Structure 1
Amino acid sequence: MTLGHARKMWALDCPTLTVDAATLMYGLSGMMTIPMPSFLIEHDRGLVLFDTGIAPESITDPAGVYGQELADGLGIGGTPDQAVDKQIEALGYKTSDVTHVIASHFHFDHSGGTHLFPDAKHYAGAGELAFARFATPIAAFCYMPWQIERTAGFDWRELPGTDVDLFGDGSLVMLSLPGHTPGELGLKVRLANRTFLLTGDAVHLQQALDLEYHFPIDWDTRVALDSLRRIKRIAEAEEATIWITHDPGHWADHKPAPYCYD
């Protein structure tokens, strides 16, 4: 196989959550503000979106969307122009230009805008959509039944529990990283000048990656640690830059759209 590369990648600017840091990693305290980015990638064969962020309507009405109790605990911050569709439009595309949408998993803060892309091909990890409908009690609050139902008629492609090369050229490889949820996915993005490893929620903070601490409410902690270590090994082997979705330091170290990685 001749290896190819994606043309461009943008980290879409995003709303934030302000949460109790102890919910992100054992041993932390205080409140922490974390990003919720999505990533847009241009390839010869399509326009690919990795994660769709929080429900756009929740930016202005979090209690109306999620209920007062959950909204109070989330501390959603942002403006309407940070919704995923507005971010895509700001780059000169239409939402209908997006041909492939990859869900790292179906928690509300990663798939809230999925319904905006009814004509795209949609990808989820093995067991993710079933678990989203019948989650364990500790995880159930992360899934929104109405959010799941409004994408029920979409063109969903469930991965087989292994890595899948989206276009067969090594440029965009969906990585099976279960543990946080059954179908957690990462995405390896090979550009002409560098390779990124987008982690989804397989790990939440750089400190957790360094210490190999799993997330406090992972679906399967043993499997989650295996996936965390796998991220480290892949990054070492391929000299890839790890981009942890929720890590505020990673977001500060990199550049959001309209800056373009190529």
Structure 2
Amino acid sequence: MSPGTARRLVALDGARLTLDRADMLDGAAPGPVELVVPSFLVEHDDGLVLIDTGLAPEAAEDPVGTYGEELGGMVSMTPEQRLDRQLALAGVAPAEVTHVVVSHVHFDHTGGLRHVQHARFLLGAGDRGAVDGSDPDVAAIARQADLDPVRDGDWTFLDGDHDVFGDGAVVVLAMPGHTPGNTSVLVRLPDGPLLLSCDTAHLHEALERPAPMAADTVRADALASLQRLIGLAATHDAPVWVTHDPEDWERFSGNRP
């Protein structure tokens, strides 16, 4: 039986975070890099999947007030880059979103959860403690203000890979290491498969010489997940969109059907 396909993928623009390239990948030359903070919509016959939700909407007006001096000083975000505005530009009402893949619980992926409180949330089981408080160490890496509006929502905590619709069109891939529950996503589209790295990699260079980065929770696991991602790309003959990478944003975002 051939795998199913999603109808299309829409890349939603988001904030930018200016960080040090050397912190994004072991061995990278130091210097500023402006990371993209996107979200993605996948349209499927059986539902509408949102992958990640970017920064909190209030960060567009007051990033320092939202995230504090250190993190807020890294943020560049316009009101048009809020998740709710990006959904509207894509012609989608928040209530139409049926599933939300939270690739992991860092602040730059959870800020817009409040806009889709009704959806079914899919999160790697290793990050569960950020939602239910069962693991204080995991809770400490999340922004609890983002999770508070959805804490009592419809959560599914994933052990291993998860085929969202059961037809291979959207598969959440277990990629622990950056956080215990970190995931990537395989999307099969009419023009072929695509791997969204999420934070398994932060720069495309990480796929060329696999190496972890400074903020990875378990570096050995992060490296193993990078190697798995590279292997899956070869197995499926699928390009990898390193979703934070600014060059990948330019390369992929204008070329989706």
One-letter amino acid matched to 1:38:
S
1:193 Cα deviation from its structure 2 partner: 1.1
Residue in structure 2 matched with residue 48 of structure 1 by the alignment? 49
Percent identity (aligned) = 40
Q: Is the 8 A contact 1:131 1:182 kept in 2?
A: no
Unaligned runs of 5+ residues in structure 2 are none
One-letter amino acid matched to 1:108:
F
One-letter amino acid matched to 2:23:
T
Against the structure 1 CA distance between its residues 192 and 146, is the aligned structure 2 distance closer, same or farther, given a 3 Å change threshold?
same
Residue in structure 2 matched with residue 22 of structure 1 by the alignment? 22
1:219 aligned onto 2:234: no
Q: How do 1:1-262 residues align onto structure 2 when only pairs under 5 Å count?
A: 1-27=1-27, 28-72=29-73, 74=74, 76-131=75-130, 133=133, 134=135, 136=137, 140=140, 142-160=141-159, 162-256=160-254, 261-262=256-257
Q: Deviations over 1:108-132 (max 9, x none)?
A: 0011101111111110001212056
What is the rounded CA distance, in whole Å, between the counterparts of 2:218 and 2:238 in structure 1?
A: 26
SS at match of 1:180: coil
Q: Is the 8 A contact 1:52 1:110 kept in 2?
A: yes
SS at match of 2:86: helix
1:58 Cα deviation from its structure 2 partner: 0.8
Q: Deviations over 1:50-88 (max 9, x none)?
A: 00011111121111111223312x2x1121011111111
Q: Is the 8 A contact 2:130 2:142 kept in 1?
A: no
What is the rounded CA distance, in whole Å, between the counterparts of 1:248 and 1:2 in structure 2?
A: 34
TM-score, with length taken from structure 1? 0.92
Q: Deviations over 1:9-43 (max 9, x none)?
A: 01111111111222212232111111001110100
1:216 Cα deviation from its structure 2 partner: 1.3
1:176 Cα deviation from its structure 2 partner: 0.5
Q: Is the 8 A contact 2:57 2:82 kept in 1?
A: yes
Which consecutive aligned stretches of 4+ in structure 1 deviate over 2 angstroms post-superposition?
131-137
Q: Is the 8 A contact 2:20 2:33 kept in 1?
A: yes
How many corresponding residue pairs?
254
What is the rounded CA distance, in whole Å, between the counterparts of 1:35 and 1:223 in structure 2?
A: 24
What is the rounded CA distance, in whole Å, between the counterparts of 1:187 and 1:249 in structure 2?
A: 19
One-letter amino acid matched to 2:18:
T
Q: Which has the higher contact order (CA 8 A, sep 6+)?
A: 1
SS at match of 2:198: coil
Unaligned runs of 5+ residues in structure 1 are none
1:210 Cα deviation from its structure 2 partner: 1.1
1:135 Cα deviation from its structure 2 partner: 5.2
What is the rounded CA distance, in whole Å, between the counterparts of 2:113 and 2:205 in structure 1?
A: 30
TM-score, with length taken from structure 2? 0.94
What is the rounded CA distance, in whole Å, between the counterparts of 2:241 and 2:15 in structure 1?
A: 17
SS at match of 2:195: strand
One-letter amino acid matched to 1:240:
A
Q: Is the 8 A contact 1:52 1:112 kept in 2?
A: yes
What is the rounded CA distance, in whole Å, between the counterparts of 1:93 and 1:70 in structure 2?
A: 30
1:136 Cα deviation from its structure 2 partner: 4.0
Q: Is the 8 A contact 1:102 1:123 kept in 2?
A: yes
